[in-house]
A and B are shown apart, each in its own frame.
Chain A
Amino acid sequence: MTEPILRTQDLTFRYTTAEGVAPTVLDCVNLTIEPGAFVAVLGHNGSGKSTFAKHLNAILLPSGGRVYVDGMDTTDEALLLDIRRTVGMVFQNPDNQIVASVVEEDVAFAPENLGVPSAEIRRRVDEALEAVGMTEYARHAPHLLSGGQKQRVAIAGVLAMRPRCIVLDEPTAMLDPVGRREVLDTICTLNQELGMTVVLITHHMDEAARAQRLVVMDNGRVVKDGPPAQVFQDVVGLRRLGLEVPDSVALMYELRQAGLDVPLDVLTPEDCARAVAQILPH
């Protein structure tokens, strides 16, 4: 069996406040993520999903329990750089993670920090820009790009570290629908073609539906864990958590309520159309 790329063991996290009251944000989270997986972490605001993400590359350290990145304990300060180059992190606001005033120089930032020789940096930058489809914008100024393009540059900036895993914390929250699709397609390509492990934190159901595995969090706990088609079956349970199922599943659910025999595990519009076609009288 291969070593899991990410493993949390009874991960607990509390914020320490001035009054000494410490609300628990993460409560005994046990998750194991295998290399090459595409995992979406779902949850409404305040469910602890962002805090969880920040534990995956040692931005936050657990108050209790352990986080292992490729076998490395995140509390071990000597391993900090190794951990961060293994797990890349992309945040919500693309403006606040772009460091340089030219796209390719921004992408070069991480390998420069790692002390990579310049010829190798050049190669990595070209590769990373190619992977996110931004090669033609290499010499552009980031503030003139669209939101989706900026976010792809931010992803390229992380890719240039050659991480084994990439964690995206609501990367599409500030983007328009076009930008969202661009970014999501990029993420899927990374996972399918480069075999990159992807952890996507989101509250968009249709984004989560594209993952192989869905982890639903509520109140700092993992409440559901499984393939999307299976997790979405529990329409009532998800709604109770303040989450909406994808439109296709919602439609199937309503049809079922109306007494029609349709499957619930339809995630794409195509599957949905097929399912509807089957119940229609010829």
Chain B
Amino acid sequence: MNLKDITLGQFFPGNSFLHRLDPRMKLLGLICYLVALFLAQWFVTYGVMLLLLVWGCAVAHIRAKTLLGGMKPVIFLLIFTAVLNMFYTPGTPLVSFWIFTITYEGILHAFFMVVRIMMLICATFLLTYTTSPLSLTDGLESLLSPLNRVRVPVHELAMIMSIALRFIPTLIEETDKIMCAQRARGADFDSGGLIRKAKALIPLLVPLFISSFRRADELATAMECRCYHGGQGRTRMRELRLRPSDWLFLAAMIVVAVAIGVLGQSGL
């Protein structure tokens, strides 16, 4: 497994409509999309959701291959869901053997379930692909800022999150390097059962942890050198400002969610 292939949480810089949207509106829009996804019932509504997703990809110049590549880690979950739904949905039996019965409804249900999960993940990826982690956390910080009043350290949480996101590629690179170094010393990460594999990770995790702590220490010093002193009196280069197009986007997403809900109710 090449760790560098993991695309989770990655950002592809660009200047499309989706890239320029306000992160808060994108987050709220995603929530609308996800709600709509759960209200979708039949081919028509799912078709609309898929069209929306395809439109998003086209606008943001994200290739379908990239999106589907991010699906690898959840393949097991998808198969599991499909199988469960196939067997446990009552209806007209199609095939029957021993105690298992596959129903016509089951196959449809399984299909929709898998499509729903895939679209859910794709839509979330579309958000992280088109929103820089920093503006994503800015958006979250701004959306959650009312919680400041009940003493939730929103700025600190946002900072922790953005630093975590920033260091994911660095730590992945480092993990790759340590793996190679340990392999060169004869470590075996690929063979054996689950327990042996887990044990084999110890020589990987220990150096990784140590170096992470060193990194954290150096980063903290570097941040202090750049006058970081918490969220107090902090300004932003890119102040989040809502433009008419942002409101329009959110309104459209709400309309979509409501429309899908109505259509879903009528069984489409």
Residues of A near any B CB (own CB < 8 A) = 57, 59, 81, 84-85, 88-89, 91, 93, 95-102, 104-105, 108-118, 121-122, 125, 139-143, 154, 157-158, 161
On chain A, the residues within 8 Å of B229 by CB distance are 81, 113
**Which 5 pairs across A and B sit closest by C-beta, in order of nearness?**
A97-B222, A108-B237, A110-B226, A96-B218, A121-B237
Q: Secondary structure at chain B's binding surface: helix, strand, loop or mixed? A: helix
Contact indicator per residue, chain B 114-156, by CB within 8 Å of chain A (1) or not (0):
0000000000000000001110000000000000000000000
- Residue of A81, A96, A111, A157 near B219 (CB, 8 A) is A96
A142 to B165, CA, bound (A): 12
Contact indicator per residue, chain B 213-237, by CB within 8 Å of chain A (1) or not (0):
0110011011111111100011111
* Contact of A102 with B134 in the complex, beta carbons under 8 Å: yes
Q: Which residue of A lies closest to B136 (CB)?
A: A101
A95 to B234, CA, bound (A): 24
| Also in contact, A110 and B222, with CB within 8 A (given A99-B166, A101-B133, A102-B13) | no
Question: What would be 18 A-B contacts, judged by CB atoms less than 8 Å apart?
Answer: A59-B221, A59-B224, A88-B225, A89-B222, A95-B170, A95-B215, A96-B215, A96-B222, A97-B219, A100-B134, A100-B166, A101-B166, A109-B223, A113-B229, A121-B237, A141-B11, A157-B226, A161-B227
A101 to B173, CA, bound (A): 15
Q: Which residue of A lies closest to B219 (CB)?
A: A96
Residues of B near any A CB (own CB < 8 A) = 11, 13, 132-134, 162-163, 165-166, 169-170, 173, 214-215, 218-219, 221-229, 233-239
| Also in contact, A113 and B234, with CB within 8 A (given A95-B215, A99-B223, A101-B133) | yes
Shortest CB-to-CB span from B182 to chain A, Å, is 21
Shortest CB-to-CB span from B119 to chain A, Å, is 26
A91 to B215, CA, bound (A): 12
On chain B, the residues within 8 Å of A118 by CB distance are 235-239
* Contact of B13 with A109 in the complex, beta carbons under 8 Å: no
* Contact of A89 with B165 in the complex, beta carbons under 8 Å: no
- Residue of A84, A108, A161 near B224 (CB, 8 A) is A84
Q: Which residue of A lies closest to B172 (CB)?
A: A143
Shortest CB-to-CB span from B163 to chain A, Å, is 7
A130 to B168, CA, bound (A): 28
On chain B, the residues within 8 Å of A102 by CB distance are 11, 13, 132, 134
Shortest CB-to-CB span from A15 to chain B, Å, is 15
* Contact of B132 with A99 in the complex, beta carbons under 8 Å: no
